[in-house]
């Protein structure tokens, strides 16, 4: 089995679950495989046919997906074809039934329409498995139900005794049992793997205005274009697809588009150009969906919050399938969350409507949380994560500042309580904001509440963002009533309200999310893009020369792919090209040793690759036959540097505290500590650059001063001549920081734009005086009917005002 894996796929080892499943299939056992996107499920049905020399049948929902898989398998020397409405080669069916293919793909419709004679001939020639890919399509509970999948159980009778293999990346319990039942699986081996895609960075950006979305989007996309990576931008509407592709065009970026209203040919052409790296950006609706098997997508951006977290996981999972570090950004505005009624309208049953609402609420929560995004996503998919922080999402890298929000929280909770669980969040927020909408007067005379208008100081998005934090922290609960969401106070929220005393209020410390700090929209956008620059995890870990060689080799691969009329990734994956750039083999034997290099690649293109490696290595002054090291791996670090980095990065100590740490025999200079941390960053250790620069006072101005000094000196080899060109206050740690930031390709943008200042504190709010009174009275009457009590207070305020 291992020999087959190396020969056809070029891999040296199976992933842990793959071997188990393949062995079970070879024993004739039915298997259900549920593992994360891009985890290597396909190999489970690709290897057995090669081991036993019989055909494996694979049912797949999309023709484009089958075409891509056939293309990639052919490049590995595996005989493969597909049967479906777009197959133009009339000989395929006859060749298939005589067992000429190792792997034969077909749509469920095609499978059901093939004559029994086809199946009996093929059985005679030899079939070894019947695989159902994207098996969640079989279940109504799945997010991509396909009625034709339900007919596949007929094949139990047509192909008795054959192992059935169902594969999917998302299958909650209900879907799993549907798959087993519909496919009449007998005592199947169920393999449930991890959903964690560790190479993916997850991040969320909040924007108030679409114009800023657009600027940021263009910026994010251009960053990846330079390094040759592909980007998919998922939009919620066709209109947004058109707008974004127009904006990209205006910025000089050519992008393919894909949506359901395009004709079949245009869609196929768009898909082809993207798969073959002829366009690097695809702007699409989710119609550009399951069929995407392109392993080198480096960035997936969701322009608007998706309908559910399941679909977000699937769609973002099209990123970084080759295991290389890649990013998934989700951009949202508050209005994205107001679409529930629209989605529910498509659905006739109450159960389904509740399911839609719950999914949307989970997606909304994903946007709003201030804790680890990966943990939230995995938790939603039913997987427990190993640690509290993943270190590879925006919230882990750039933890939010925390503030005591007890006064604001008290007001909001009290106001929600006044609404008696009958309303969604809009009503209490409108009350606090003193809305003049008719509904205020029409219902329960909300405009007479003493809380009415007390929260004008904050925007309605701000209050909603606070509500999200209160939901995440268990003070508020959201409930679903048919098409609507209502908001209520939880027991914890009640306890908090009850704890209010006339003279003191227990603190309620909550993180300030970007929606709360980002009232100044420009600052929000810039700080986000600054953060983006600082995501050290996105670096390839290659030296400058190696990176150059990697890019040149990618260009060579592109030429090979064009002449072979195939996609570059089908020749070999980016990770394999990266390994070639790192090891620069001089002989075929060395090339063959590289993970990902299969026999077919060696035979067809081996000489060309070796020639290119020799020529291009010379061009970037790298010697041949280098030693392989894992890119992105941290390099060894002196113990004192590692200790300083650990204290700063992992334990959150300040540079000053580290310098004077009591455990030390004598204090060390703060600049020495900063220097240690920068050295660690240079050796591949992660650091939060924004936080670091802020702490050592490294500003845009200092960056540009050092830049000028380096230009003047003409070299960055020695620090002393650079230092002597600079004012006294710019120290060696600053210079080192500049040099490392430069070598990591980071810009100083965003350094001076920090929004650490909290929004105006509660003390300056116009309602502060009234807050004290309301709180005290609320406490006294908490167990009674709060609404009437607050009204009483309001009257009293009017009375007092009239006496002023
Ligand atoms: N044993 C292995 N060693 C190294 N790479 C592997 C191995 N198995 C699979 N891969 C690579 O992992 C990537 C993803 O594999 P694959 O397309 O089979 O994932 P999948 O689980 O079917 O994903 P999805 O659910 O999204 O369809 C591919 O680039 C594949 O070549």
pLDDT of 144 reads 64
Residue 507 half-sphere exposure, CB side, CA atoms within 13 Å?
6
Averages of pLDDT over runs of 10 residues in the chain (804 residues) are: 92 90 96 90 96 96 86 94 89 94 95 93 95 85 68 88 92 84 92 89 84 79 78 93 92 91 91 91 86 84 89 90 88 79 64 75 89 92 81 79 84 85 84 80 70 84 89 86 79 86 76 70 43 44 83 94 91 92 93 92 94 93 77 64 82 85 78 88 77 87 86 82 90 87 63 41 39 48 42 50 50
Which helix (DSSP H) or strand (DSSP E) does residue 405 occupy?
A: none
Q: How far is the CA of 470 from the centre of ligand 1 (A)?
A: 40
Cα→Cα distances 213→243, 329, 613, 629, Å: 12, 12, 41, 39
How does 262-279 read in b/e, with b if 16+ C-beta sit within 10 Å?
A: beeeebbebbbebbbbbb
Report the distance separating Cα 281 and Cα 221, nearest Å: 8
Query: Is 69 close to ligand 1, i.e. is its CB under 6 Å away?
Result: no
Phi-psi label, residue 780: left if phi above 0, alpha if psi -120 to 50, beta otherwise: alpha
Residue 5 alpha carbon, nearest atom of ligand 1: 1
- Where in the chain are all domains bearing CATH 3.40.50.300? 1-192, 200-397
CA dihedral (543, 549, 552, 557) in degrees, to 10, reads -110
**Distance from residue 133's CA to the centre of ligand 1 (Å):** 13
Quote the CA–CA distance of 36 and 310 in Å, as a whole number.
Answer: 11
CA-nearest residue for atom 8, ligand 1, is 40
CA–CA separation, 278 and 256 (whole Å): 9
Atom of ligand 1 nearest to the CA of 42: 18
Q: Which two tokens stand for residue 717?
A: 């080899």
Q: Characterize 17-34 residue by residue with b for buried, 16 or more Cβ atoms within 10 angstroms of its Cβ, and e for exposed.
A: bbbbbbebbbeebbbbbb
Q: Residue 766's pLDDT is what? A: 36
Distance 113 CA to ligand 1 centre (A): 30
Residue ranges, comma separated, of all CATH 1.10.10.10 domains in the chain are 402-511
Please tell me the residue having the least CA distance from ligand 1 atom 25: 37
Dihedral over Cα of 496, 498, 499, 502: its sign: positive
CB 550 within 8 A of CB 440: no
The CB of 37 under 6 Å from ligand 1? The reply is yes
Q: Which atom of ligand 1 is nearest to the CA of 46?
A: 18
- Taking the centre of ligand 1 as the mean of its atom positions, its distance from the CA of residue 22, in whole angstroms, is 14
Name beta bridge partners: 130: 57, 164
The alpha carbon of 321 and the centre of ligand 1 are apart by a number of angstroms equal to: 7
Any idea what DSSP says for residue 234? Answer: E
Residue 121 to residue 567: CA distance in whole angstroms: 34
**Can you tell me the distance from the alpha carbon of 332 to that of 793, in angstroms, rounded to the nearest whole number?**
39
State the Cα–Cα distance between residues 262 and 257, nearest whole angstrom: 9
Distance, in Å, from the CA atom of 745 to the CA atom of 740, rounded to the nearest integer, reads 9
Residue nearest to atom 16 of ligand 1 (CA): 40
- For the CA of 15, the closest atom of ligand 1 is 1
Nearest CA to ligand 1 atom 24: 37
Task: Assess contact for 690 and 754: CB atoms under 8 A.
Answer: yes
ipTM of the complex model: 0.97
Two tokens, residue 449: 């509440």
In ligand 1, the atom with minimum distance to the C-alpha of 595 is 4
Residue closest by Cα to atom 14 of ligand 1: 38
CATH superfamily, domain 1-192, is P-loop containing nucleotide triphosphate hydrolases (3.40.50.300)
CATH fourth-level superfamily of 544-620: HRDC domain (1.10.150.80)
Element (H, E) at 728: none
| pTM of the predicted model as reported, rounded to 2 decimal places | 0.72
Fold classification of 200-397 is Rossmann fold (3.40.50)
Token representation of residue 176? 């799993």
Rounded distance between C-alpha atoms, residue 739 and residue 746, angstroms: 10
Gap from CA of 42 to ligand 1 centroid (Å)? 6
Distance CA 688, CA 675 (A): 15
Tokens of 298: 């480096």
Ligand 1, closest atom to CA 317? 26
- Using CA positions, which residue lies closest to atom 30 of ligand 1? 40
Question: In terms of DSSP bridges, do strands 297-303 and 484-489 run parallel, antiparallel, or are they unpaired?
Answer: unpaired
Residue span(s) of the chain under CATH 1.10.150.80 come to: 544-620
433: CA distance to ligand 1 center in Å?
Answer: 52
**CATH code at 402-511:** 1.10.10.10
Contacts of 690 (CB under 8 A, 6+ apart): 398, 527, 530, 531, 534, 750, 751, 754
* CA-wise closest residue to 231 among 272, 197, 280: 280
Question: What is the CA(295)–ligand 1 centre distance, in A?
Answer: 8
Structure tokens that stand for 261 in this block = 């209203």
Cβ 56 under 6 angstroms from ligand 1: no
Phi (first) and psi of residue 398, to 5 degrees? -125, 75
- The verdict on the CB of residue 15 being under 6 Å from ligand 1 is yes
Amino acid 162: pLDDT: 95
Nearest Cα residue to 209 out of 337, 331, 301, 370: 331
Spacing, Cα 26 to ligand 1 middle (Å): 20
Indicate whether residue 61 lines ligand 1 (CB < 6 A): no
Dihedral of CA atoms 539, 540, 546, 548 in degrees, nearest 10, equals -70
Using the Cα atoms of residue 367, residue 369, residue 373 and residue 375 in order, give the sign of their dihedral.
Answer: negative
* Distance between Cα 59 and ligand 1 center (Å): 18
Which of 43, 168, 290, 317 for a ligand 1 pocket mutation test, highest count of atoms within 8 Å of Cβ? 43
Alpha carbon nearest to ligand 1 atom 7, residue: 40
- With a 6 Å cutoff on the Cβ, whether 133 touches ligand 1 is no
Give pLDDT, residue 629.
63
Cβ contacts of 472 within 8 Å, gap of 6 or more: 365, 368, 369, 370, 371
Place of tokens 């695809």: 282
Does ligand 1 come within 6 angstroms of the Cβ of 317? yes
* Six-digit token string for 67: 């075409």
Q: In whole angstroms, what is the distance from residue 794 CA to residue 789 CA?
A: 9
């Amino acid at each position: 089995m291992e020999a087959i894996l190396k020969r056809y796929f070029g891999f040296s080892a199976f992933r842990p679950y793959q071997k188990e499943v393949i062995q079970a299939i070879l024993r004739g056992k039915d298997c259900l495989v549920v593992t994360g996107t891009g985890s290597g499920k396909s190999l489970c049905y690709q290897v057995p046919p090669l081991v036993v020399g019989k055909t494996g049948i694979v049912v797949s929902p999309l023709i484009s997906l089958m075409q891509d898989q056939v293309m990639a398998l052919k490049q590995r020397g595996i005989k493969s074809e597909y049967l479906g409405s777009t197959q133009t080669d009339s000989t395929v069916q006859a060749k298939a039934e005589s067992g000429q293919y190792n792997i034969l793909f077909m749509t469920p419709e095609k499978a059901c329409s093939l004559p029994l004679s086809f199946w009996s001939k093929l059985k005679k020639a030899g079939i070894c498995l019947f695989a159902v890919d994207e098996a969640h399509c079989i279940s109504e509970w799945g997010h991509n139900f396909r009625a034709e999948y339900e007919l596949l159980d007929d094949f139990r009778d047509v192909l008795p005794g054959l192992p059935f293999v169902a594969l999917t990346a998302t299958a909650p319990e209900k879907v799993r049992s549907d798959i087993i039942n519909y496919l009449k699986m007998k005592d199947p081996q169920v393999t449930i793997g991890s959903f964690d895609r560790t190479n993916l960075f997850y991040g969320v950006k909040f924007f108030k205005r679409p114009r800023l979305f657009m600027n940021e989007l263009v910026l994010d996309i251009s960053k990846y274009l330079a390094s040759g990576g592909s980007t998919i931008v998922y939009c919620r509407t066709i209109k947004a697809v058109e707008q974004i592709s127009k904006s990209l065009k205006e910025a000089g970026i050519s992008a393919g588009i894909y949506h359901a209203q395009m004709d079949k040919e245009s869609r196929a052409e768009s898909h082809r150009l993207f798969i073959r790296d002829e366009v690097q950006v695809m702007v699409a609706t989710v119609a550009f969906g399951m069929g995407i098997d392109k392993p080198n997508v480096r960035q997936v951006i969701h322009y608007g919050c998706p309908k559910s977290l399941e679909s977000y996981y699937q769609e973002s999972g099209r990123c970084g399938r080759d295991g290389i570090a890649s990013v998934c950004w989700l951009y949202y505005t508050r209005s994205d969350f107001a679409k529930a009624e629209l989605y529910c309208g498509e659905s006739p049953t109450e159960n389904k409507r509740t399911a839609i609402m719950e999914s949307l609420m989970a997606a909304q929560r994903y946007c709003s949380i201030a804790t680890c995004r990966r943990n939230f996503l995995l938790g939603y998919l039913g997987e427990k994560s190993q640690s509290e922080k993943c270190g590879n999402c925006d919230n882990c890298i750039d933890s939010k500042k925390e503030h005591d929000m007890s006064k604001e929280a008290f007001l909001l909770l009290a106001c929600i309580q006044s609404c008696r669980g009958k309303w969604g969040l809009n009503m209490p927020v409108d009350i606090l904001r003193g809305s003049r909408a008719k509904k205020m007067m029409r219902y329960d005379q909300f405009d007479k509440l003493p809380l009415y208008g007390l929260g004008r100081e904050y925007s309605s998005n701000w209050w909603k963002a606070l509500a999200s934090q209160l939901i995440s922290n268990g003070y508020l609960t959201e409930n679903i009533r048919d098409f609507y969401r209502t908001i209520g106070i939880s027991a914890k929220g009640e306890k908090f309200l009850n704890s209010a005393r006339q003279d003191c209020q227990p603190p309620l410390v909550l993180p300030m999310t970007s929606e709360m700090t980002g009232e100044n929209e420009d600052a929000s956008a810039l700080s986000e893009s600054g953060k983006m620059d600082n995501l050290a995890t996105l670096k390839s870990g290659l030296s400058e020369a190696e990176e150059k060689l990697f890019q040149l080799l990618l260009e060579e691969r592109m030429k090979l792919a064009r002449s072979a009329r195939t996609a570059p990734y089908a020749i070999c994956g980016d990770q394999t090209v990266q390994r070639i750039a790192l090891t620069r083999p001089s002989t075929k034997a060395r090339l063959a040793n590289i993970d990902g290099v299969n026999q077919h690649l060696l035979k067809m293109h081996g000489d060309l690759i070796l020639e290119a490696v020799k020529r291009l290595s010379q061009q970037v002054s790298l010697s041949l036959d280098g030693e392989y090291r894992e890119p992105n791996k941290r390099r060894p670090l002196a113990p004192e540097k590692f200790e300083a980095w650990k204290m700063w990065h992992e334990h959150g100590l300040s540079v000053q505290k580290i310098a004077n740490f009591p455990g030390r025999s004598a204090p060390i200079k703060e600049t020495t500590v900063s220097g240690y941390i920068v050295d660690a960053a240079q050796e591949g250790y992660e650091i939060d650059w924004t936080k670091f620069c802020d702490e050592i006072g490294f500003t845009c101005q200092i960056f540009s001063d050092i830049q000028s000094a380096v230009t003047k000196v003409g070299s960055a080899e020695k620090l002393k001549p650079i230092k002597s060109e600079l004012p006294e206050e710019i120290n060696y740690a600053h210079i080192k920081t500049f040099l490392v930031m430069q070598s990591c390709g980071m810009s100083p943008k965003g350094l001076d734009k920090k929004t650490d200042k909290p929004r105006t504190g509660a003390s300056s709010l116009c309602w502060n005086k009234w807050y004290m009174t309301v709180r005290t009275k609320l406490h006294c009457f908490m167990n009674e009917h709060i609404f009437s009590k607050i009204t009483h207070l309001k009257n009293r305020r009017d009375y007092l005002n009239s006496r002023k």
